[in-house]
Amino acid sequence: MIVMEFIELGSLDKYLRRVRLNGTNLDTIPFKKFALDIVSGMNYLEQKRIVHRDLAARNLLMSTLTHLKIADFGLAQSLNKNESFYTIRTARYLPFKW
């Protein structure tokens, strides 16, 4: 069994699309706070020696209108203790969304 938090507001990319369609003023969106949340989350992953490999707006979930959480660890890899950087070992498709 997997228990996960439900994030009702959804992903950042869908939120920004809704805002654009509604004509909301972008000055009301706390982009600096979002950047700090992302940096904080990525710093935590770095401390745990995890490489996310798919950081994108579609993988940032809004727990509140001012707080983001990093999600979708399907491509994440962990580093061994003797590794200081990640090297691809197997051929994989990268998630380019055009």
Residues annotated as part of the active site = 54
Place of tokens 């004509």: 23
Report the alpha-carbon angle 8-43-47, nearest 5.
115
Instruction: Name the phi and psi angles at 87, rounded to 5.
Output: -125, 130
Phi, psi of 50 (to 5 degrees): -115, 135
**What is the separation of C-alpha 24 from the centre of its chain, rounded to a whole number of angstroms?**
23
Report the run of H or E that residue 27 belongs to, with start and end: none
